[in-house]
């Protein structure tokens, strides 16, 4: 499944929903590949575009951002701001020659442990198909 390489996937998760969903996935003992590592934020609204780019600059093979369901953000509108930023960065990635599929935004509620595990699986599979970031040809960071 991992296509011969262990990918590095950064998951920026909001405290109230996505992070809680990851906890529930654990409580339910659901299995997903260990490629993904979570950085907790109070709200995805805190996530700045620079950090998304930094993650790729520093070698992340994939980045996912997971916030509350739309309309249910603990901080009213943070997830909507984050979604916009993720869309903007996707476009930037394309212009940099990085597949925009390496970055994705997800909405999920804290009760969706199963969905969190599924997102982790999906994202890992997707990155496995794309291969390591540095092999993607046109990437300006590919100095090898």
Partner 1 sequence: MPSTDATGALLVVGGGIGGIQTALDLADAGFFVYLVESGPAIGGKMAQLDKTFPTNDCAMCMLSPKLVEVGRHPNVQIITLASVESLSGHPGAFKVSLRQQPRYIDIQRCIACGRCIAACVYQEVKFPSEFNVGLGKRKPVYIPFPQAVPLAAVIDPQTCIFFKSGRCPQGCLKACERQAIDFTQQEKLLELDVGAIVLAPGFEPYDARLSGEYGFGRCANVLTGLQFERLLSASGPTMGKVLRPSDGQAPKRIAFIQCVGSRDLRHQSYCSAVCCMYATKEAIVAKEHDHQIEPTIFYMDLRAYGKNFENLIKRAQEEHGVRYIRSMISQITESSKSKNLLVRSYAGGANGRSPLQEEEFDLVVLAVGMRPHRQGQELARRLGIELDEHGFAKTLASNPVASTREGVFVTGAFTGPKDIPETVIQASAAAAAAGKLLASVRSTRTQTKRYPQESVPDSAPRVGVFVCHCGSNIAGVVDVKAVAEYAGSLPGVVHSENVLYTCSQDNLKHMKEVIQEKQLNRVVVASCTPRNLEALFQDTIREAGLNRFLFEMVNIREQCSWVHGDQPERATEKAKALVRMGIAKARELEPLTLQTVPVNPNALVIGGGLSGMTAALTLAESGFETYLCAEGELSAKARAHPKLRLYTDATLKKCAGFAGNFSTTLSTPQGEEHLAHGVVIVAREAQEFKPRAYLYGEDARVLTQGELEQRLRLGRVSARTIVMIQCVGRDEGRPYCSRICCGQALENALALLAEDPSRQIYVLFREMMTYGLSEKLYRRAREQGVVFVRYDEQNPPTVQRESEGLKATVRDVQYGQELLLEPDLVVLSTGVAPQREANEELGQKLKVPLDAHGFFVEAHIKLRPVDFASHGIYLCGSAHAPGSTEELVAKAQAAAGRAAILLSKTHLEAGGVVAIVEAEKCTACLTCLRECPYGAIFINSEGLAQIEAVKCQGCGICAADCPAKAIQLRQFEDRQELAMLEELLDVALQRVNA
Write out the residues near partner 1 by the rule CB under 8 A. Answer: 6, 8, 10, 15-17, 19-20, 22-34, 37-43, 45-51, 54-55, 58-60, 68-69, 71-72, 74-78, 81-82, 85, 109-115, 117
**Which residue lies nearer to partner 1 by CB, 40 or 129?**
40
Cβ at position 19, least distance to partner 1 in Å: 7
Query: Bridge-partner residues for 105, per DSSP?
Result: 65
* Whole-number Å distance between alpha carbons of 2 and 115: 20
Query: What is the per-residue burial (b if ≥16 Cβ within 10 Å, else e) of 100-124?
Result: bebbbbbbbbbebbebbbbbbbebb
**Which residue lies nearer to partner 1 by CB, 28 or 87?**
28
**Which residue lies nearer to partner 1 by CB, 104 or 114?**
114
CB 63: neighbour CB atoms within 10 A? 27
Cβ at position 34, least distance to partner 1 in Å: 4
């Amino acid at each position: 499944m991992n296509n011969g390489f262990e990918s590095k996937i950064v998951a920026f998760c909001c405290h109230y929903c996505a992070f809680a969903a990851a906890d529930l996935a654990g409580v339910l003992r659901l299995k997903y590949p260990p490629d993904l590592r979570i950085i907790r934020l109070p709200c995805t609204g805190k996530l700045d575009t620079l950090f998304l780019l930094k993650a790729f600059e520093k070698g992340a093979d994939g980045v996912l951002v997971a916030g509350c369901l739309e309309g249910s953000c603990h901080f009213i509108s943070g997830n909507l701001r984050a979604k916009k930023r993720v869309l903007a960065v996707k476009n930037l990635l394309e212009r940099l020659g990085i597949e925009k599929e390496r970055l994705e935004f997800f909405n999920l509620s804290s009760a969706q442990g199963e969905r969190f595990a599924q997102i982790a699986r999906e994202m890992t599979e997707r990155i496995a198909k794309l291969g390591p970031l540095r092999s993607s040809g046109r990437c300006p960071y590919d100095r090898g």
